[in-house]
Amino acid sequence: MALPSHDTLVSYPDGATVSTGTVLHVEPLDDGLSAVILDTTAFHPVDTAWPDQPSDRGVLRGPSGEARIERAVMGGIRDGALHLGRELPVRTGTEGWTFVVAHLVDGAAPAEGESVEVVADAELRAALCAGHTACHLASLALDGALADSWTKETPVDALGHPAFDQLAIVTSRIHEHGSIDTYRIGKSLRRKGFAPAGLDDLDAVAARANALLADWVSRGGRVRIERDHDAITARRTWVCALPDGEVRIPCGGTHVDDLSAFAGIEVVLERSDVDGAIELLMTTTARMA
C-alpha cells in the first residue's frame, strides 16, 4: 500500500483514548520498532517543533495480535519518503506535505489494510492532561506576578498582562501532574523593558503567582480545545474560563475539562546566573481533587 496522501485524523483533542482505524502503512525502523500509520487515531504524538508534552503510551490490537505502542511521533510525507520525529525538516502544516501520526510499535506489526484498535494508557493521559493545564495556568500566573516589572509597553498574554512567559521561555517540559519551564533574562529581554530587579525577591513573586493559582482553582472553570477540523494539522486552541474572562492559547496538547479537577496548583521558582544572563526555573506541581 502506498504512503498516505491525507493527513491523519485525530480524536485526542476531544479527550478520546481509544479509537479504531485502518492501517495505511507499516515501516520497519532501525531500532527494531515499526512505524504504523493509521487513517485515524486517538493517540497523542510528541510534537517535533515544540516537544513539551510527551507522547501517549498504550497498545495496538488487531487480527495479527496485540503489540505495545512505545510512543507516537509526528511524521511527514513528501516525494514518496516518510520523515519521522526529529528527521522531519518542516513544521506541521507546511504546504506540499502530508502529515501523519506514526505509532512506534514493539512486537508483531499489523498488516496494511487491517482494521486495528489503539488504546492509550488512560491514567498516563489524565496525568499529562493535568500537567499541561497546570503549565498554562502557571505561565499566566507568572505573567501576572511580574506585571509590574516592565518599563515599556510590550506584547500581552491572554489576560492582558505583559507576556513574560512568551518572551522569555527557553524550554517547557510537561510531565505527570506538573511541568518544568526554563526562562532566560538577557540583554534582549532587558531592551524590551523587563527590569531584572523584579526577580530579586523570588519568594514574593512565587507567592503572588500561587495566590492567583489558588483563586482560579477554587472557582473552577470549564476547559476545552477548539479546532477547525479533525486533521492533525488543524490549528487547536486551549480555551479556559477564568474569573477575569475566557482565555485562549494556541496549543496542540491534551487537558483536563474543568479546573475543579484540581485541589491545588503551586509553583516554585529558582534563579541562577548563566553567561551574564539570568536563568529562571519554574517547577509547577498540580494536586488533584
Mean pLDDT by 10 residues, the chain (289 residues): 92 98 97 97 94 98 95 97 96 96 96 97 98 98 98 97 98 98 97 97 98 98 98 98 96 98 98 95 98
CB contact at 8 A, 112 and 37: no
Query: Residue 49 is placed in which grid cell?
Result: 517543533
What pLDDT, on the 0 to 100 scale, is given for residue 2?
Answer: 81
d(CA 235, CA 226): 8
d(CA 19, CA 32): 25
Amino acid letter, residue 192: K
What pLDDT, on the 0 to 100 scale, is given for residue 64?
Answer: 87
Report the DSSP pairing between strands 223-227 and 236-242: antiparallel
**Residue 210, helix vs strand vs coil:** helix
**pTM assigned to the model:** 0.97
CB contact at 8 A, 176 and 128: yes
Q: Which residue has the cell 499541561?
A: 132
What pLDDT, on the 0 to 100 scale, is given for residue 122?
Answer: 98
What pLDDT, on the 0 to 100 scale, is given for residue 270?
Answer: 98
pLDDT tens string 74-83: 999 999 999 9
d(CA 144, CA 160): 9
DSSP category for residue 270: E
